[in-house]
Structure 1
Amino acid sequence: MAEPEAAPQQQADASQAMTSLQPWQQRGLWYQALARFVGLAESDYFYLQAESDTPGCWQLALYSDDHGLQAKSLSNYYSCALGPTPPAPPAQWQQCFQRLTAHLPKCRQLQLEPVSATELSLLQDAQIPGWGLLAVPISQNWQASTADYWSKRSSQLRHTIARKKKKLDQLGATISISTVISEPLQQHYWQVYQRSWKPAEPTPDFINQLLQQASSQGTLRLGVLYIAEQPVAVQCWLVAGGVAAIYKLAQDQQFDALSPGTVLTAAMADYVMAQDQVHTLDFLTGDDAYKAQWMDSCSPLYRVTAFRLNNPIALLQFTVLRLKTRLQQLRSKL
């Protein structure tokens, strides 16, 4: 979807607005890398955005099937959040759906994920004319305020960190936290990742692109814990807009008993609080039990499907799925 060129003052305002966006929501670059990863050409997807006094403040990238009947957000398991930052008011969401139907006149279904609880509420408040929304929880997001962060952590966690750190210090362990990627650091990242419990990445291309992009933008915080110069734990954090997002963690399974990842997480948290002055730590997606020890609160993430109600097929699908959802909710209550 072509966009008019912004005036100089508008471009400056947009540039300033972009500095507050999370690294995974940067205009264009994130979507371009993700599109290449999933095999989409630039002509295969388009941007959905509302009119604004600060053009480029936010975008959603969508792609559709061959017939233009369905559209989906350009997202997958690498996507941590979907939607504008700050959240778009209902009026802007209405504009977005108007642009969607103008771009894809035959579109009868739109799927967005992952959508935060805040964004879902705004979408529902928008009451998009002619569209029905269904939301299904698909994951969770854990966050913590950095105000009095360590005093809010359990004594068990604090004691575990101190005990494990002492053992690692006795082994001569060191921690490096870098803001700029290098070839050796990238090799250390993959060396640990391949020896961890993590499933193999489908391809390293997206992560390598992310490391390079975050490095060039100044948002990268790459932590590595070494024992005898051997990397045994790595963490990729992304920092922007006062938020430190914990994106990728890995630990060499041979050293699990020493908990190097736990000690590295504590060091990374101290670093971003002291050096970057962040106000929030964000564990992004996933409901792993250990995250509750490090974070304050948890909120759901949703898959939102919008059905165009003036289309008989879409109306039938919406009606049936809404009925199934309500029955499931009733059964869970009973």
Structure 2
Amino acid sequence: NACLEIKCSNHIWLFFDVSMANASGSPPEPVFFSLAMLAILLVALAGNGVVCIMVYQRSAMRSAINILLANLAFADLMLAILNMPFALVTVMTTSWSFGDTFCRVSAMLFWLFVIEGGAVLLIISIDRFLIIVQKQDKLSPPRAKLLIVVTWVLSLIFSFPLAVGSPPLHIPPRAPQCVFGYSADPGYHAYVLILMLVFFFIPFMVMLYTFMGILNTIRHNAIRIHSHPDSMCLSQASKLGLLSLQRPFQMNIDMSFKTRAFTTILILFSVFTACWAPFTAYSLVTTFSFGFYHKDSFFQISTWLLWLCYLKSALNPLIYYWRIKKFRDACLDLMPKYFKFLPQLPGNTKRRIQPSAVYVCGEHRSVV
């Protein structure tokens, strides 16, 4: 007894009754799904907000890589503020209640923040490649800030046409937000292809190439160390205070730190791929396939994939806390005292309990 109305123009709208949607597929449980989305929203707000506050308040945290990570956190924070609540309300009420104009604006904001996040990961990956493979550390805080401005401008250029209805977007019944739909217009197809290339496919291929190069370099370095164990004497000799070996030892420690930071970026890249690849493929198939767009389960599938994308914004700050010691220490310092279960130990006590610091002895002074 479903009511079906098809209106054909450049786009085709499909309207069907709630009973048809419930009988045709397996819609997500409203209570469970709403609670899960609310948890993602709260974690994304709190986690990314803390990251932004830490980098803003602490001058010691304003390295080039931390500035880029703070910009990534800011994009995720804006996505959580300006997009997630409206999608959550739409899922709970099973209808879009915010009008066509805000639908277009929300789509523009969605892709603005998404493209910016992908661009930041791309910059960080190239920076790791230059440091570890090319032995060139060219990214300074001023350059990082300049790149951030450039990426925001480019992201706005690619996403702004959605706000003015070019290409036009329509909301399918009970959709979580304004999405790409089926169209026979070649210009519409071209825009979607360009957007997906800029946002996902090009960054994915470049980052994959950089990571393969980095892993290959790390493997060669490990083989060289095992083949020439005498090179390990450099660190031992430097501990004895030989001035001529002090500079190489410092360089080796710095390269080890850069390699550990690469592991964190690799995890961020893996999360980015796992969360956004399904949504990207789904958007492309929806744009080109009439039958796929008009499936009865379109709303349910698009809702799951959309919130899988939003999950990345909640996971990123958790990865920072897990992998980056400076973020973890700064987060603990910002935490109110009544939330701290373990007492803070003085620096000397920490070094006695965990004597893992590396000391480089110069001719006149010692440097940690």
What is the TM-score normalised by the length of structure 2?
Answer: 0.20
What is the TM-score normalised by the length of structure 1?
Answer: 0.22
Higher share of residues assigned strand: 1
